[in-house]
């Protein structure tokens, strides 16, 4: 039996003020393929990504991911912190889809 190697790991997080939730990526975040594989994993939501926007004044690059449930923001800051944020119900569905995708691993419970 062939085992699938998970390329990416992520964790469910809550903002410091406790008002918003997001997914933060760890393993694999440096790979150029993360955004493409993420959008592919969300295929059932008809996900598409927009153009990357460079917010040089806050040292962050953000790409919008459009889905039929709502829009998400995929951001990478100057320190390499990689996050996916958006409406909580959309993030919950994204988490469900990533948990069954062999390339992703949720390490929140580990």
pLDDT per position as a tens digit, 1-25: 455 677 999 999 998 888 889 999 9
The H or E element that residue 63 is part of is strand 60-66
Using one digit for the tens of pLDDT, what is the confidence trace for 39-77?
999 999 999 988 777 766 667 788 999 999 999 999 988
- Looking at residue 88, the DSSP 8-state letter turns out to be H
pLDDT of residue 33: 87
Helix axes 88-100, 34-41, angle to 10 degrees: 100
Q: Tell me the β-bridge partners of 105.
A: 9
Q: Is 64 exposed, middle or buried (0-12, 13-18, 19+ CB in 10 A)?
A: middle
The answer to whether the Cα torsion of 86, 21, 83, 61 is positive or negative is: positive
Query: What Rg do the C-alpha atoms of the chain give, in angstroms?
Result: 14
* C-alpha–C-alpha distance, residues 35 and 49, integer Å: 8
The answer to whether the Cα torsion of 87, 93, 96, 99 is positive or negative is: negative
pLDDT of residue 5: 73
CA 32 remoteness from chain centre: 13
């Amino acid at each position: 039996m062939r085992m699938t190697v998970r390329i990416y790991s992520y964790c469910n997080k809550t903002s410091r003020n406790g008002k918003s939730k997001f997914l933060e990526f760890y393993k694999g975040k440096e790979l150029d393929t993360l955004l493409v594989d993420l959008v592919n994993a969300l295929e059932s939501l008809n996900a598409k990504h927009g153009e990357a926007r460079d917010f040089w004044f806050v040292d962050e690059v953000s790409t919008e991911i459009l889905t039929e449930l709502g829009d998400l923001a995929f951001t990478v800051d100057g320190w390499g912190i990689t996050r996916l944020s958006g409406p909580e119900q959309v993030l919950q569905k994204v988490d469900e889809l990533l948990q069954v995708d062999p390339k992703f691993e949720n390490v929140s419970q580990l």
